[in-house]
Structure 1
Amino acid sequence: MSSAQTEGLRARKKRAAREAIAATARRLFAERGFDTVTVAEVAAAADVSEKTVFNHFPTKEDLAFAGRENGLEQLVADITQRPAGASVLDVFRALTTSVIDNFVIPGNEDLLAVAKIIRNSRTLQERLTVGWESGAAAVTAAIAQTTGAAEDDLVPGIVARTLWWTHRSIFLHALHGLLAEEDRDQLVVRLRDAADRAYDQLASGLGNYGRRS
């Protein structure tokens, strides 16, 4: 077996072990609540050592948000590899549309399970906010890289946070609607309308937004 094949196998085994641990943790968190479950209990239920859990997830909170990093990595890739003529706003508009199409319309069960876990844990709610700021920093770096902005230019950060929080706001409303078991068709219509109006407003500029006649 070649070195490349060996590394590929190791990577697959590592990913499978990580996913199994995360799935076990989500099940326990859903059954008993995030704050009452210990990492040792997750390790025992997953039939691994506590050290193995920490090798994959540095903190207990990371267990609840497993997989989030993949979405952020894909967003950064979409920004840095966007085709000629496509703006950063276009990338975010497509991302929001994708979330509605792939998660809201089918009512993704894994997403709903994580949302319920977070809803019942103040610790995770606070960690979520920290994670969003970390995501905004990654998006800022991607925008700065692709626009050739100077190191001390504040504009990439402002643009990143404006678009990132626009998407996150719509995403949060989607979760709240799903958790409240809102009529799915009505929820989708409401989210699409909000997304279109928000991104259209940002696309045309905010100069006249809120200006009183």
Structure 2
Amino acid sequence: MLASYSLQEKHLVAIDNIVFGYEGGQLKLLLFKRNIEPCKGKWSLVGGWVNANESVEETAARVLKKITGLSDLFMEQVAVFSKPNRDLGGRVISVAFYALINIQEHDHELVDQYGAQWWPVKNLPELIFDHREMVETALNKLRMKASRELIGSDLLPAEFTLTQLRNVYNSIFMKEFDPGNFRKKILSLHILKRLDKKDVSESKKGAYYYTFNGNSMKKSAERIIKF
């Protein structure tokens, strides 16, 4: 049995992180210019090699912390990308993960140090290899999650208005949700806690601030968005 291991072809294993953030009413993606050949200088997802003493989950978390300075973030595996010719440098199997982060909270100096930039998902540059396919797959997975669970706690400040939450959903699904219907649906889930203060920057009447109810977030919610 052991002899059969030594006869097998060896493959490289990598991870690629699809890091989503939200800023200025837009869903954004963290990209950096690749610093090795092939495709040196081209736009790439944030990734790295899986070390011998690591799981793919540990690698994904390590690479994300190295670039953003953030740890203990929600990360979810997207898919395994394993076409034999997907990487021009050799036989590389990549496991893709996506993460949601608050752009205001990450280490801006680290991001700048690695030459990374935030790009609007609606206006991405050309990406290397099959990274565009990874982004599309992750975006579909994020939409499915957002349709069944109320998300936004990783993208918004601790206190937010329903308009701000709706704008997050608008950016994820790339469509405009009706304000009244969205408000009615979200409040019916009893996942948000209304605060006794308002945002008066948009109107004299103002809009109440809300926060996520931690206990309620853990329970399953009915389908939020019907496709």
The structure richer in helix per residue is 1
TM-score (normalised: structure 1): 0.29
The structure richer in strand per residue is 2
